[in-house]
Chains A and B, each alone.
Chain A
Amino acid sequence: GDSVTQMEGPVTLSEEAFLTINCTYTATGYPSLFWYVQYPGEGLQLLLKATKADDKGSNKGFEATYRKETTSFHLEKGSVQVSDSAVYFCALRSANAGGTSYGKLTFGQGTILTVHP
């Protein structure tokens, strides 16, 4: 079945440091890949997505590239801010054999990011 593996956390960085959160996946078919973010006390929000190989998703200075050859979708940001402190989830959505999808998402375990001033 589908699965997503994220790097172990928590991750603690100083402001303006470079961020990488690793994400690898196992899936059949042609999955779409997502990063969601959860700020303290809130639900999940979509951060970025990529729907096919070599696509790059980007938003708010975050980027991730869909690498089919390494089955990876690593999240990066060049200079983090205190306001980026949150839990980050990598997720995939794949189609069944008939090519349809009900939109089910499979999530990684989440990575807690804390950014200090």
Chain B
Amino acid sequence: DVKVTQSSRYLVKRTGEKVFLECVQDMDHENMFWYRQDPGLGLRLIYFSYDVKMKEKGDIPEGYSVSREKKERFSLILESASTNQTSMYLCASSLRMFGRPLRLNTEAFFGQGTRLTVV
């Protein structure tokens, strides 16, 4: 079974702290994603990566950065945490099929989520 593991289920941090959220997947997937989930807003894409050291901004990248030094690990960094970053953070991964029809791309697999509270 594919496993996407997030390092923490719950985190409480202070305003202004630098926060690291870690995600590891064990299925050799090229694509990895960070979403945040807020009530009434669904999931919104923060950043994604389609290869080691590659990163692309999603829809709401402000206040965040990412790091992908190894294929299996994708880190989300809050440079200076603020209260409006209190949220549920979900990591996901998927396999990318180079040169194949889009419909052959695999589903995205999600981690359990990290509930971050910034006080």
Contacts and interface: CB of A to CB of B under 8 A. Distances in A.
Contact of B108 (A99, A105, A110): A105
Interface stretch (A14-22, A46-54, A69-77, A78-86): A46-54
Interface of A: prevailing SS: loop
Given A46-B107, A104-B58, A99 B102 contact: yes
A103 B58 contact: no
Contacts of A104: 33, 45, 48, 58
Interface string A1-43: 0001010000000000000000000000010101010000111
A103 B40 contact: no
B82 interface: no
Contacts of B92: 44, 105
A94 B93 CA distance: 16
Contact of B43 (A30, A46, A107): A107
A43 B90 contact: yes
A30 B102 CA distance: 9
Contact of A103 (B42, B108, B113): B108
| 4 pairs of A and B residues whose beta carbons are closest in the complex | A51-B103, A43-B110, A107-B42, A109-B42
Given A101-B102, A105-B45, 15 more contacts: A30-B102, A34-B107, A43-B90, A44-B43, A44-B92, A46-B107, A52-B103, A91-B43, A99-B102, A101-B96, A102-B31, A104-B33, A104-B48, A109-B41, A110-B40
Interface of A: 4, 6, 30, 32, 34, 36, 41-46, 49, 51-52, 89, 91, 93, 95, 99-110
19 contacts: A6-B42, A30-B102, A41-B112, A43-B4, A43-B111, A43-B112, A43-B113, A45-B110, A46-B108, A49-B107, A102-B48, A102-B50, A103-B31, A103-B48, A103-B94, A103-B105, A104-B45, A105-B92, A109-B41
